[in-house]
């Protein structure tokens, strides 16, 4: 059963969607702000995010910052965005930041279910890639920043996603990455990665 983070500040809509998606077999965790969403641990594999969240419900800033934070913690998370605000520009910015899919409010339950099934399919295939020793990396880089910045972004995402997959077990993440533990600690420090459950397990 995939965990699903539902971030919606309308209590009635949140309750309706949570009940409907629980019936579909999802383990639904509800949040109504960026901060309450980021308090959810472990990071979810799926997320539905309303871009207009308090304390700036009339703008998309909180939702976009939440996308950034969710994908920084667990790059494999598939984020499906819901918004009724300036759809075209919101969609562009959400996708630029790594959102998997975009639905305009009011979105039909059937459309949300289809988007979730598509996201699950991607998750399953990416997990198969990982089992085969490969990892799918997705970044958005400005061409003007040059290849060095793009390379650093890939490096950081690879380290973060491997640590997240290893539940913060440094020894296991280092093994998967083919690194000595001290080298992995170098990257953890370089990118300011913090995990509440970093372990030294051999």
The fold for domain 143-190 equals: Arc Repressor Mutant, subunit A (1.10.10)
- Specify whether domain 3-131 bears CATH 3.30.450.20: no
Per CATH, 3-131 and 143-190 having the same topology is answered no
Report CA torsion sign: 116, 122, 127, 130: negative
Domain boundaries, the chain: 3-131, 143-190
- pTM for this predicted structure: 0.75
How many whole angstroms separate alpha carbon 36 and alpha carbon 178?
Answer: 36
pLDDT digit string (tens) for the chain, length 202 residues: 678 999 999 999 999 999 999 999 999 999 999 999 999 988 889 999 999 999 988 889 999 999 999 988 888 899 999 887 667 788 888 888 889 999 988 899 999 999 999 999 999 998 888 777 777 766 666 667 777 776 887 788 788 878 877 878 899 888 888 888 888 888 888 888 876 544 444 4
How many whole angstroms separate alpha carbon 41 and alpha carbon 37?
Answer: 9
CA-CA distances (angstroms) from residue 137 to 54, 84, 149? 31, 29, 15
**Looking up tokens 């300011």, which residue turns up?**
192
User: By C-alpha distance, which of 51, 45, 10 is closest to 28?
Assistant: 45
* Bridge partners of residue 28, in order along the sequence: 4
């Amino acid at each position: 059963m995939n965990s699903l983070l539902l971030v919606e500040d309308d209590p009635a809509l949140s309750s309706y969607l949570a009940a409907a998606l629980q019936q579909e077999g999802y383990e639904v965790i509800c949040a109504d702000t960026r901060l309450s969403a980021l308090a959810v641990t472990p990071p979810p594999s799926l997320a539905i995010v309303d871009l207009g969240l308090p304390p700036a419900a009339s703008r998309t800033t909180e939702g976009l910052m939440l996308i950034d934070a969710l994908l920084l913690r667990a790059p494999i998370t598939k984020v499906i965005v819901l918004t009724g605000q300036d759809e075209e520009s919101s969609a562009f910015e959400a996708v630029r930041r790594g959102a998997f899919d975009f639905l305009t409010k009011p979105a039909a339950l059937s459309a949300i279910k289809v988007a979730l099934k598509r996201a699950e399919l991607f998750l399953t295939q990416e997990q198969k890639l990982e089992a085969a020793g490969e990892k799918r990396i997705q970044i958005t880089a400005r061409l003007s920043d040059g290849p060095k910045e793009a390379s650093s972004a890939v490096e950081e995402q690879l380290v973060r996603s491997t640590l997240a997959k290893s539940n913060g077990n440094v020894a296991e993440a280092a093994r998967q990455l083919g690194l000595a533990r001290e080298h992995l600690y170098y990257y953890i420090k370089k990118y300011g990665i913090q995990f509440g459950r970093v372990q030294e397990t051999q």
